[in-house]
Amino acid sequence: MLISLIHHARPGRGPLLASVAAGVGVSACYVAQSLLLTLAVARGLREDLTGAVWACCGALALVAVRALLIWAREVAAARAAERVKTDLRLRLYRHLLTLGPAHVTRQRTGAVLTTLQDSVEALDRFVSIFLPQVLVSVLGGLGIVAVLALIDPPVALLVAVTAVLAAAVPRLLRHRMRQMLMDFMRGWRGLSADYLDAVQGPPALKAVGADGHFGTRLSRSAWDFYRSSLRFTQIGTISAGFVGFFAALGTAAAVGLAAWQYASGDLSVTAVFAVLLLSREAFRPVTELMAAFHAGQAALPADEAIRELLAAKPVVPDTGTTPPARTGAPPRVTFDDVTYTYPGQGQPAVDRVTITLEASTTTAVVGPSGAGKSTLARLLLRFADPDPGNGRISADGVDLRHMSLADWHTRIAVVSQEVFLFHGTVHDNIAFGRADAGPQDIEKAARAAHAHDFITALPDGYDTVIGERGLRLSGGQRQRLAIARALLADAPLLILDEATSSVDIAAERAVVDALDRLREGRTVLVIAHRLSTVADADHLVVLTDGRVAEAAPPDQLLAQGGAYARLVARQREGATR
């Protein structure tokens, strides 16, 4: 685990070495200061006042040098930590992208966020405090003992043994500490995830009267977290107490031994004074290491979470290299005998489905809730692949698995009624995914999506900040921005996912017009959760229990009086009741 942590720290090794060098310099200053003060005492005893004053001035000058070195050590350590965190965040983010949305769906979003934020932050203290401190403590400790050995070898031996004993205490308690830290971090991740659910869910929870129950659950996880953090703090205090005890015991024993040697005439008074100052300094590396030890321990569960995330395998392998058959042109997409089962589910969500989305036509998929409509869209987006050996999806004859994900995704745009707007300007939200688009391209897309007029009426027009923490837009306005975004992306294949809740939005003339314009000249798959919007589709597929019940143009299906006709009749009945 430590090796993996040191591996994470590699991008910061330059500034880390600088920080260690400065840290060793700080320790050297302490030793030199003690020696200069001893010299001052020796000169004073010989009534050499000038010599004593010079030695004191030297000790004072060292205080200034030490302050400079501490500053350099902190700056270098912070720089190292920043480099390490930036590198790690980038690696984690890139890896999350390759894992795709399926990973985040399986994990709790709050827990993934905690790994990205808190676990990476925990490495900050490991890199900036613990790692340099280990080297500084070992080098500094050895240096001080070596100087002590020149003055009084028995005292040096005594100090070395007690310092090693003091340093061993945290190591003896480390398994217990690690276990408590794991509990602490697990509790923290759970609490973060619960809070995220609580923040994102209140209206839905209130609607079913579940907010009270949720509040109890939240307070229970907060209480669990409090207890685990208390246990961790307690064990930290116990171990710090033991280190402090050994340090005090070591210093007292060293001074006692030196005093005894003085009494028996084996040591001068100046040497006793040097022992007094240096033996105290000899325990500084241990106590500093102890303080840093906590920072190092906190990184262990963080490292585990990071490694877990980095080790997660993508749900779909991105190994295809075949280029799309015809870039730019609307593709002909076929689902050939496709079966897909969600992990851990017994029944397939989509069962031996064969459908063709003819180029430049609109195919709508309808069916009762849970029939597998959204799953078809997910398979088309390659958020998942058909069960092995159970069918294939191809575009113009090329199996989607043979193309790279990036190639395939640039050919698809999705417009769903749950529009994702991030915190940023209207301009940036439309340009999302097309970084090279200029203001004219963006305005053209917005005009075609009937969004230009409402955008120019906003306080700062295209520069108005919207999305999370920004200006709130109506459902229809958000929808038109999504359409502008899709128009700008100009992908030849379009997935329209119509959520049940947005009847009013779909009824907005401007949205209907904009959608019609978007559909022109593209291959379109409409996931229709309602039937009212599918009458103008070229082709209609009725899914029930993951299977194709019937497929034909809508008029033909209505005339046949089959599953589709029954669905329409049922919906009409529902509307008149």
Ligand X SMILES: Nc1ncnc2c1ncn2[C@@H]1O[C@H](COP(=O)(O)OP(=O)(O)OP(=O)(O)O)[C@@H](O)[C@H]1O
- Residues contributing to the site for ligand X (CB under 6 A): 105, 342, 345, 349, 367, 369-375, 529
Closest alpha carbon to 550 in 536, 535, 566: 566
Least separation in angstroms between residue 531's CB and ligand X is 12
Smallest distance from ligand X to CB 373, Å: 4
Burial of 311 (0-12, 13-18, 19+ CB in 10 A): exposed
Token digits of residue 243: 């280190």
Q: What is the DSSP letter of 345?
A: -
If one counts every other C-beta atom within 10 angstroms of the C-beta of residue 354, the result is: 13
Q: Which is nearer to ligand X, 110 or 348 (CB)?
A: 348
CB of 69 to ligand X, least distance (A): 56
Question: Shortest distance, CB of residue 294 to ligand X, whole angstroms?
Answer: 40
Of the pair 83, 529, the CB lying nearest ligand X is at: 529
* The token pair that represents 534 in the structure block: 């599918």
Please report how close the Cβ of residue 570 comes to ligand X at its closest, in angstroms: 15
Specify the residue, 351 or 443, whose C-beta has the smaller distance to ligand X. Answer: 351
Is residue 541 within 8 Å of 551, Cβ to Cβ? Answer: yes
Q: Which residue, 105 or 322, has its beta carbon nearer to ligand X?
A: 105
Shortest distance (Å) from residue 377 CB to ligand X:
8
Q: How far is CA 382 from CA 61, 193, 200, 529, in A?
A: 67, 27, 27, 21
Nearest one of 300, 293, 16 to 173, comparing CA atoms: 293
Taking the C-alpha atoms of residue 210 and residue 214, their distance in angstroms, rounded to an integer, is 6
Tell me the closest approach of the beta carbon of residue 234 to ligand X, in angstroms: 41
Compare residues 343 and 459 and give the one whose CB is closer to ligand X: 343
Is 379 or 518 the residue whose CB approaches ligand X more closely? 379
In the complex, what is the shortest distance from the CB of residue 394 to ligand X, in angstroms, rounded to a whole number? Answer: 21
**CA dihedral in degrees (247, 250, 254, 255; nearest 10)?**
60
Residue number, 375 or 429, with CB nearest to ligand X: 375
Nearer to ligand X (CB atom), residue 106 or residue 434: 106
* Nearest Cα residue to 525 out of 361, 316, 370, 386: 361
Q: Residue 369 Cβ, how far from ligand X at the closest point, in Å?
A: 3
Number of H helices, E strands in the chain: 22, 12
Q: Is 333 helix (H, G, I), strand (E, B) or coil?
A: strand
**For tokens 């640039």, what's the residue?**
410
Residue 525 CB, nearest approach to ligand X (Å)? 12
DSSP letter at 530 equals S
Give the residue with the Cβ less far from ligand X, 190 or 372. Answer: 372
Residue number, 287 or 375, with CB nearest to ligand X: 375
Q: Which helix (H) or strand (E) holds 334?
A: strand 333-340
Integer Cα distance of 482 and 467 in angstroms: 12
Min separation Cβ 366 and ligand X, Å: 9
CA distance 530 to 242: 69
Report CA dihedral (51, 52, 53, 58) to the nearest 10 degrees: 90
| Cα distances (Å, whole numbers) of residue 211 to 108, 193, 199, 223, 455 | 19, 16, 11, 18, 37
Cβ 576 to ligand X shortest distance, Å: 22
List beta partners, residue 436: none
Specify the residue, 20 or 567, whose C-beta has the smaller distance to ligand X. 567
Residue placing its CB nearer to ligand X in the complex, 292 or 400: 400
Tokens of 16: 């880390």
CA 493 to centroid of chain Cα atoms: 31
Handedness of CA 441, 446, 447, 448 (dihedral sign): positive
Q: Which tokens sit at 253? A: 């024993």
Nearer of residues 339 and 375 to ligand X, judged by Cβ: 375
Shortest Cβ 450–ligand X spacing (Å): 27
Task: Report in angstroms how near the CB of residue 315 gets to ligand X at its nearest.
Answer: 11
User: Angle formed by the axes of helices 153-172 and 174-200, to 10°?
Assistant: 40
Q: Other CB atoms closer than 10 Å to residue 423's CB: what's the count? A: 12
- Tally Cβ neighbours within 10 Å of residue 151: 19
The stretches of 46-114 forming alpha helices (DSSP H) are 49-99, 101-106, 109-114
Nearest residue (CB) to ligand X, 150 versus 208: 208
